[in-house]
Amino acid sequence: MIIRGRSKADQTDRQERRQKQNGYNIGIFWEDLKMTVEQFKDLMLCNEPEFGYNGQKYSICSPNGKYYVTATDSPGDAELEFDTLDLLLDCWIIQGRPLREILSDTDLR
């Protein structure tokens, strides 16, 4: 269960996400959960992630040092190939915006 709102412990306007883990109600600040470009590049060293954005699903795989993508809302993306992560971040357009711009709004964690 996830609850969004302000924490009484933190009197700033930072959004907090609370969830049950092992019977305890844990509060995590939303800003701390957002994926950064550095975290994404680290993640891509040994993962082939799937993620959601605005109700759609996306995935990235990297056989042979190239990056390939799939998107539920854009089947033609399956034909795309990127040589570097920076090209992937800047040239893969998801819902009209480059991945780099929306990265922090995806559900990648």
Which tens digits make up the pLDDT trace of 13-42?
444 444 444 555 545 444 446 889 999 999
The pTM of the full predicted model, rounded to 2 decimals, is 0.70
Strands, DSSP E only, in the chain? 2-5, 16-21, 24-29, 50-53, 56-61, 67-71, 81-82, 93-94, 97-98
**Could you state, in order of their start, the residue ranges of all structural domains in the chain?**
2-33, 37-105
Sign of CA dihedral 25, 28, 34, 40: negative
99, pLDDT greater than 60: yes
